[in-house]
């Protein structure tokens, strides 16, 4: 069987220039108006560059922005759950028709060029409430919306950089074209993607192994962009995941790769975005477990599963692979879920990435049932090197004090 098609019905649409075209555009960019963009906007450029955001051709104009916020649909009718936008202030003096050199110092300078076809103001509260289901400025995704400048600018982009990700994460970083080739060479057509911003604890491991049983293979797909304070850095996470895969998974059932996006912590809407670009990566399924892409107590533990039932039929080709709350049950004598374990909360050890970070950051020891010793050792070494520690607060999705 063939792999699922890219999102939008056409071919992959990578916007990254190479060879002579790249050199010519770099030269031309020297004469364009220079605009400094955020790391989130730069990472969105990288995602468009490698074709992960197919079929986007650039940053969204007003009709696309409004349609995506309100109805998860672009002007063309293509399903899209989170706006991909770029903003400027009055000080940049950007006008429609301008050609811009988009610069991000954190990624080495010139990222992309852009032709401005629209300039418009947005209602930030409208975006926050529709996309994130809250306008609370403590929510890290909402905070980024409010930090956007006065004007949004829309128009096509030409991507000139991958931000150093291919070198920094050699062997992990991959484009959709590369993962599709890996799957095709392996003879896989049913591939489940496991999204993670955390090292894998036993519950994550259990989810992946359930998927291995019913799929041709699983891709553990790690986010490589900037995270919120207190999250474990990508390089440490990569080492921890590699240690787990090398020691506890059957060879040739797991692919470990990463992508250059920045987390929005958008819960249900972000789960849909994860599905969109995993389809571009060639995945037929997205594993959706407890509190997918959530933060704090902004979302119910299974809201990210429920939203797949709310979108119009045909929005996505990729399917969600829902797995119930998982934990270690002392009476069952191993990993279990709410669907398989008949015992009470007092018999269960609930596992979460937040609990891992909090325990280790405070110098505590994790129970053996929580995480594999090879993983714990890597994480302990990381926390011992930290001079400043971020306070990590537990929330309902981490402790189990929520209703399903």
Catalytic residues, by residue number, are 197-198
CA distance 256 to 200: 12
Distant-in-sequence, close-in-space partners of 13: CB < 8 Å, separation ≥ 6: 6, 51, 54, 55, 56, 57
What is 340-357 written as a DSSP string?
Answer: T--S-GGGEEE--HHHHH
Phi, psi of 156 (to 5 degrees): -70, 150
Classified as helix, coil or strand, 82 is: coil
Beta bridge partners of 335: 328
Residue 8, sorted as left (phi over 0), alpha (psi -120 to 50) or beta, turns out to be: left
Q: DSSP label at 16?
A: B
Long-range residue pairs from 385-389, CB within 8 A, at least 24 positions apart, any chain = 386/361, 389/361, 389/362
């Amino acid at each position: 069987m063939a792999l699922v098609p890219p999102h939008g019905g056409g071919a992959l649409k990578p916007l990254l220039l190479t060879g002579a075209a790249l050199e010519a555009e770099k030269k031309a960019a020297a004469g364009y108006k220079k605009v400094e963009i955020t790391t989130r906007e730069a990472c969105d450029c990288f995602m468009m560059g490698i074709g992960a955001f197919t079929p986007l051709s650039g940053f969204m104009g007003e009709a696309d922005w409004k349609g995506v916020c309100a109805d998860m649909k672009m002007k063309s009718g293509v399903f899209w759950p989170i706006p991909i936008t770029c903003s400027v202030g009055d000080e940049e003096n950007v006008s429609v028709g301008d050609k811009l050199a988009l610069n991000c110092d954190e990624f080495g300078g010139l990222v992309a060029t852009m032709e401005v076809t629209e300039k418009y103001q947005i209602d930030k509260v409208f975006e926050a409430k529709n996309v994130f289901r809250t306008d609370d400025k403590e929510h890290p995704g909402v905070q980024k919306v409010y930090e956007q400048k006065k004007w949004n600018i829309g128009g096509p982009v030409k991507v000139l950089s991958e931000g150093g990700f291919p070198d920094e994460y050699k062997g992990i970083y991959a484009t959709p074209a590369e993962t599709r080739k890996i799957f095709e060479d392996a003879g896989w057509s049913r591939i489940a993607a496991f999204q993670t911003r955390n090292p894998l604890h036993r519950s994550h491991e259990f989810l992946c192994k359930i998927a291995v049983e019913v799929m041709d293979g699983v891709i553990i797909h790690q986010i490589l962009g900037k995270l919120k304070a207190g999250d474990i850095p990508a390089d440490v996470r990569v080492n921890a995941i590699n240690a787990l895969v090398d020691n506890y998974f059957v060879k040739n059932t797991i692919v470990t790769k990463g992508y250059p996006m920045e987390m929005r912590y958008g819960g249900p809407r972000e789960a849909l975005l994860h599905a969109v670009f995993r389809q571009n990566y060639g995945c037929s399924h997205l594993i959706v477990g407890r509190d997918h892409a959530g933060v704090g107590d902004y979302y119910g533990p299974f809201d990210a599963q429920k939203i797949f039932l709310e979108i119009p039929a045909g929005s996505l080709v990729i399917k969600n692979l829902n797995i119930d709350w998982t934990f270690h049950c002392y009476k069952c004598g191993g990993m279990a879920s709410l669907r398989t374990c008949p015992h009470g909360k007092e018999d269960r050890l609930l596992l979460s990435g937040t609990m891992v970070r909090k325990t280790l950051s405070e110098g505590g020891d994790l129970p053996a049932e929580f995480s594999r010793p090879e993983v714990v050792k890597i994480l302990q070494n990381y926390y011992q090197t930290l001079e400043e520690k971020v306070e990590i607060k537990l929330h309902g999705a981490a402790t189990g004090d929520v209703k399903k």
